[in-house]
Amino acid sequence: MAEIIDTTLDRAGALARAVDVLGRGRPIALPTETVYGLAADATRAEAIASIYEVKGRPRFNPLISHVSDMEMAARHGLFDPISRRLAEAFWPGPLTLVVARAPDSAVHALATAGLETLGLRMPEGFARAVISAFGKPLAAPSANTSGRISPTTAAHVADDLGSAIDLILDAGPAGIGLESTIVKVENGQLRLLRPGGLAAADIEAVAGQRLLRPETAGAAIQAVGAALEAPGMLASHYAPDAAVRLDATEVRPGEALIRFGGVALPGEEKAAIVLDLSPTGNLREAAAHLFSYMKQADATGARTIAFSAIPDDGLGEAIRDRLERAAAPR
Ligand code: TXA
Ligand code: MG
């Protein structure tokens, strides 16, 4: 079983242990502000291979390289003016920028799945301290079995991957609870590859332009975009064991209910469990609760999880995206 270290009790010890395991080419579970990541040395083939192995992840799906500072980022990626402005405005934070790979970047082709581009993110908090102490970028997908719900606590990671990895760093529940927003600049035009923990409107305000969504980016992107541009956007993803029913207006007997905004639904007395993502209707709070409530609902053994409607503004866009993937045919 993995060793679990509470980073709030022994910060220096946790950092030293993390650097030690990473230096041996092994992956560790690392807390970030979005979700817990499964991190390994992005420059070493065998380290990256073990990420794919532990997750059971398809190798055509590239990994995000996490950096501690702008200097490290610029050693591996080439920043166009818009990407640079976004990095300055939002890093460290829940934003991944897909940029051209620097010709002499040491990030291994296994991490980029052979693409000429590189997904870069500077995470906040303890993860950033680990990268800084390690001195090299860390490749890190979410620390869950491929296709399943992303972990927002160390306990989620331990349940799923505890027997496959050596070390889990525990910094408490992830503050944001949704993976980073992924954008890419193409010919001066910003494209949203994955909605996430940074609201699209915040990016648009800084970039001074609208984000092109997959739906409006034309047929070519429709055809290849989901599979190739950000392969993590495969239709079925974030899947609990239970089936998922969206925009429910009533609960059927035995279903688990996850609702929003303190609005009760008819039939709740016969539900397996009733959880409210945010009784006050706050989308940030809802995002932070989403994945752990899905796991809690799943744990009741209910065959279906019903969700009441979630607004689609702000972080609601990313929440709805995850729910649609959870509800997709498997
Ligand atoms: O918040 C997050 O982003 C978390 C934490 C751990 O940082 N990481 C995460 O990684 O969600 P992952 O592997 O689950 O999702 C990474 C996404 C995938 O959809 C992948 O296809 C996309 O990023 N991606 C990575 N590199 C890319 C590239 N060069 N071009 C397009 N998409 C890329
Ligand atoms: Mg993931």
The residue extents of the domains of the chain are 3-170, 243-327
- Tell me, using a 6 A CB cutoff, whether residue 152 lines ligand 1: no
On the question of pLDDT at 214 being above 80, the answer is no
pTM: 0.93
Measured torsion, CA atoms of residues 75, 78, 82, 84, in degrees rounded to the nearest 10: 10
Q: What is the pLDDT of residues 168-193, one digit of tens each?
A: 999 999 999 999 999 999 999 999 99
What values do phi and psi take at 305, rounded to 5? -105, 120
Rounded-to-integer distance, Cα 71 and Cα 328, Å: 40
ipTM: 0.98
Q: Could you tell me if the CB of 64 is within 6 A of ligand 1?
A: yes
Q: What angle do CA 107, 110, 112 make, to 5 degrees?
A: 65
Q: What is the pLDDT of residue 261?
A: 98
34 annotated as a binding-site residue: yes
**CA nearest to 305, candidates 225, 244, 261:** 244
State the distance from the centre of ligand 2 to the C-alpha of 263, rounded, in angstroms. Answer: 30
Tokens of 246: 């969206």
pLDDT, mean of residues 258-263: 98
User: What is the number of other CB atoms lying within 10 angstroms of the CB of residue 85?
Assistant: 14
Ligand nearest the Cα of residue 116 is 1
Nearest by Cα to 184 from 103, 77, 29, 261: 77
Mean pLDDT of the chain: 93
Predicted local distance difference test score (pLDDT) of residue 238: 76
- Please state which CATH class domain 3-170 belongs to: alpha beta
Residue in 51, 63, 315 to alter for ligand 1 test, most ligand atoms within 8 A of Cβ: 63
111 and 62 Cβ atoms separated by less than 8 Å: yes
pLDDT in tens, 276-290: 999 999 999 999 999
Would the pLDDT of 230 be above 60?
no
Ligand nearest to the CA of 186: 1
Phi, psi of 297 (to 5 degrees): -65, -40
pLDDT digits (tens, 9 = 90+) for 6-37: 999 999 999 999 999 999 999 999 999 999 99
